[in-house]
Amino acid sequence: MADPMRIRAQVAGDKATVRVLMSHEMESGQRKDAAGKIVPAWHIEEVTATHNGKTVLTAEWGPAVSKNPFLQFVIKGAKAGDKIGVTWKDTKGETRTDEATAS
């Protein structure tokens, strides 16, 4: 299982800026190992963010996203104490969900 995501949600007025650092190797499927064999593709393909359980962002990613990707977005109508959740799913079917409280 991948390491936990680092999620930070800072509220300013009625908006929250959410920053997420995901831990994932993100293989493109184009690199070769020491023996000259292609390393199979393994990357995050779907990211979903929720605000108090309601989906506010859905993204589809491909192999061009860097290792340990960073995502930032803004949620309108957020306030301190709200729950922000982020879930990703990769090409091997693995998923990771983490949650943070807006402050």
Give the pTM: 0.89
Q: What percent of the chain has pLDDT over 90?
A: 94
12-58 pLDDT per residue, tens? 999 999 999 999 999 998 999 999 999 999 999 999 999 999 999 99
Q: Confidence band (pLDDT; 50, 70, 90) for 3?
A: confident
CA distances from 46 to 23, 33, 42, 59, 86 (A): 14, 26, 12, 6, 11
Residue 101's pLDDT is: 96
Say which CATH superfamily domain 6-101 falls into.
Answer: Immunoglobulins (2.60.40.10)
The DSSP bridge pattern shows strands 44-51 and 54-60 to be: antiparallel
How many other β-carbons are positioned within 10 Å of the β-carbon of residue 39?
13
Of the candidates 39, 43, 42, the residue with the CA atom closest to the CA atom of residue 31: 39
Q: Confidence band (pLDDT; 50, 70, 90) for 1?
A: low
